[in-house]
Amino acid sequence: MIQNPLILEKLKEKTLGDEVMHEFILSIMTNESNGKQYAKFFRSEVEKYSKLREDKGGEDK
């Protein structure tokens, strides 16, 4: 879990208007903070969220 409010504030500020990116980074950071294995999780999250954004981009268009 990300407890440091500064990190959460920065993340919000840097991903303003990009909800997918915000969710993706928060997800992999939370995984990291819980000390869990990263490789498999990161790959699946990249694929999941990149696809989600691609789909969302398509919808937007």
Partner 1 sequence: MRFESIDITNYRQYQSLSVAFPQTMETDLHVIVASNGIGKTNMLNAINWCLYGDEPHLGDKDDSLTICNHIALDEARKLGEKFATVSVCIHISAGSSKITFEREVDVNVSTRFEGHDRFKALITNEDGNTDILEGGAADESVNQYLPRKIRQYFFFDGEQLHNYFGKGQDSSHVKDSIHEIAQVSVVTNTRQHLEKIIEEYQKAIAKLNPAVDKLSAAIATKKTDRQKLEDEINALESSIKESEDVISTLNQQISGTETVVADNQRYNDNLALISQLETDEQKQKALLLTLVRKYYILLMMYDVNSSTDGYIHEKFEKGVLPPDINIDLIKSSLAHHECVICKNTINAAAEAYLNSLIEKFDVSTIVSHKLVEIKNDVARAVREAKNYKKEKQSIFDSLREISERISVLSSENEELYKRISACSSIENIGLWMKQREENRTLIRINSEKVGVYKTQLTALTQEITTLQAQLDFAIEDIEKCEELKYALNFATEAKSIIAAIENEIISEVRTQMESETMTLFEELIWKKNTYGHIELNENYRLRLFHKTTNESCLGSCSAAERELLALAFTIALHRVSGHDCLLFIDTPVGRVSDINRENFAKSLITVSKKKQLILAFTPSEYSTEIRKYFDASVVSSYNKLISVDEEITRQEV
Interface residues toward partner 1, by CB under 8 A = 2-7, 10-11, 14-15, 21, 24-25, 28-29, 32-35, 38-39, 42-43, 46-47, 49-50, 53-54
Quote the least distance from Cβ 37 to partner 1, whole Å.
10
Structure token digits, residue 4: 């440091």
Structure token digits, residue 41: 């999780």
Quote the least distance from Cβ 54 to partner 1, whole Å.
6
Quote the least distance from Cβ 14 to partner 1, whole Å.
5
Closest among 3, 35, 29, 33 to 14, alpha carbons compared: 29
- Measure the CA–CA gap between 38 and 15, rounded to whole angstroms: 22
